[in-house]
Amino acid sequence: LHLFVDAYNHARRLKTLRGLTPTEFILNAWTKEPNRFRIDPSYLIPGPYT
């Protein structure tokens, strides 16, 4: 049952974000509608070495 619930929650999250990671979703929204953001969101996303 635990595995089923984990798989369901993961699939639900992917469906909510249209199959994108949260970072990709935010950056796509920023490129489509930059007026929704006050600053560049990629500035706030930590890099691979942080």
Domain boundaries, the chain: 2-43
Contact between residue 26 and residue 17 where contact means Cβ atoms under 8 Å apart: no
The first and second tokens of residue 20, run together, are 């994108």
Write down the pLDDT at residue 47. 66
User: Which conformational region is residue 39 in: left (phi greater than 0), alpha (psi within -120 to 50 degrees), or beta?
Assistant: beta
The answer on pLDDT for 50 being more than 60 is no
Put simply, whether the predicted model's pTM sits higher than 0.75 gets the answer: no
Write down the pLDDT at residue 13. 66
